[in-house]
Chain A
Amino acid sequence: EAGVAQSPRYKIIEKRQSVAFWCNPISGHATLYWYQQILGQGPKLLIQFQNNGVVDDSQLPKDRFSAERLKGVDSTLKIQPAKLEDSAVYLCASSRLSGSFYNEQFFGPGTRLTVL
């Protein structure tokens, strides 16, 4: 099966500009996650969707970050305006929704954002 797709792979912007990232999860995966990974650290959850509803956005800086998954399939993550500390890799992951106690999360390759 096709993996999680993300675009663009790289983006360079200046501070105070806006940027958007796109994610297409694995077909049939109801749950979608956006993680932020700062250089030298492990990924940190920003937001989790189940179908088109938000499950957890407690770590999302809502004054500048927004995300949507309107039709319960692909998703976009936006930053407006960007700050220098937003330089990171933004990872999208997806998993099935089932009664299993564990559903493996599949990650995309990520988008590397550099804010100058």
Chain B
Amino acid sequence: DAKTTQPPSMDCAEGRAANLPCNHSTISGNEYVYWYRQIHSQGPQYIIHGLKNNETNEMASLIITEDRKSSTLILPHATLRDTAVYYCIVRGPHSGNTPLVFGKGTRLSVIA
């Protein structure tokens, strides 16, 4: 079973920041938080991952609270192409090639 809780849906105006929350209150000290997204009719796509420090890449930023029980994925300037289901996933430190355990995710709708 997924170790995370996410809201089922969110809306965001185009050009604004999209902030997607995720609760992972049972996360272990050595487990990482990963985010994937799935655009309609496509397979999931990796976005970002982190342990305890905030992370940023060309797609998004990941903010993890100090107690690591929750995190927020930030899309700084959402576009219509960011409309997708976003999955927050917790994985162990030596996950290597272990499979991903998905929950139901958050359906983000970016509105023009």
Contacts and interface: CB of A to CB of B under 8 A. Distances in A.
Given A31-B97, A101-B93, A102-B49, A42 B42 contact: no
A33 B87 contact: no
Contacts of A97: 97
B104 A103 contact: no
B42 A109 contact: yes
Nearest to A42: B102
A100 to B, nearest CB: 7
A105 B44 CA distance: 9
Interface string B87-107: 100010111110111111100
Contacts of A75: none
Given A31-B97, A43-B102, A105-B100, 14 more contacts: A33-B99, A35-B99, A41-B104, A42-B105, A55-B97, A56-B99, A91-B44, A93-B43, A93-B44, A97-B97, A101-B94, A105-B44, A108-B43, A109-B41
Interface residues of B, number: 23
Interface of A: 4, 31, 33, 35, 40-45, 48, 50, 55-56, 91, 93, 95, 97, 100-110
B90 to A, nearest CB: 13
Contact of A44 (B32, B42, B93, B102): B102
Nearest to A95: B97
Contacts of A48: 97, 99
A105 B89 CA distance: 13
A102 B95 contact: yes
A42 B96 contact: no
Contacts of A110: 41-43
Given A48-B99, A105-B100, A43 B93 contact: no
Interface string B61-105: 000000000000000000000000001000101111101111111
A31 B2 CA distance: 22
Interface string B48-59: 010000000000
